[in-house]
Amino acid sequence: MLHAEVPPLRQPCPPGACDCERETLRDATGADARILQLTRKEEIKLIKHIDSIDTYEGLQRTINRLQEQLGATLRIRPSPNDAVTARGLDIQFDKQLGLCKKTREDVPTAIRRCIGRHEEIFLAVLKEHSLFR
């Protein structure tokens, strides 16, 4: 009988360094633990991938894969105070048990860098959330 290989899981954060509530994930009924498969090594690969994205469609594919593979929902939208640069975008993950604070900071930062380098992605985000769609 073959045993399925268990994917490596993200190492726990040092006590007090994170608010991911990883320890409660085990006890939560019906909780999605796939996010723990995003190890630090995999997160670094994800950030490198985000840095190489050069189209809005590529960014959307990455966001969709985060949802499909890890159950992580990432939202990008103009902030209520208007967005004239990538810094004016609200980029954040929905609250999720087990999603590390470092990931919640590093991935949006990488996306902001990507959007800052590619004005057409920034304009596509604005168009996606336009009142005149």
**Consecutive 10-residue runs of the chain (133 residues): their mean pLDDT?**
69 88 79 90 97 97 97 91 78 93 96 95 89 50
What's the domain range around 85? 39-128
Is residue 111 one of the residues assigned to a domain? yes
Is residue 18 one of the residues assigned to a domain? no
The confidence score (pLDDT) of residue 2 equals: 57
Is residue 122 one of the residues assigned to a domain? yes
Number of structural domains the chain divides into:
1
d(CA 105, CA 127): 25
Is residue 114 one of the residues assigned to a domain? yes
Is residue 29 one of the residues assigned to a domain? no
Is residue 61 one of the residues assigned to a domain? yes
The confidence score (pLDDT) of residue 113 equals: 96
The confidence score (pLDDT) of residue 59 equals: 98
Is residue 25 one of the residues assigned to a domain? no
- Rounded to the nearest angstrom, the gap between the alpha carbon of residue 66 and the centroid of all alpha carbons in its chain is 7
d(CA 41, CA 12): 14
Q: Specify whether the CB–CB gap between 63 and 74 falls below 8 A.
A: yes
What is the enclosing helix (H) or strand (E) of 74? strand 74-78
Is residue 12 one of the residues assigned to a domain? no
- The pTM of this model reads 0.87
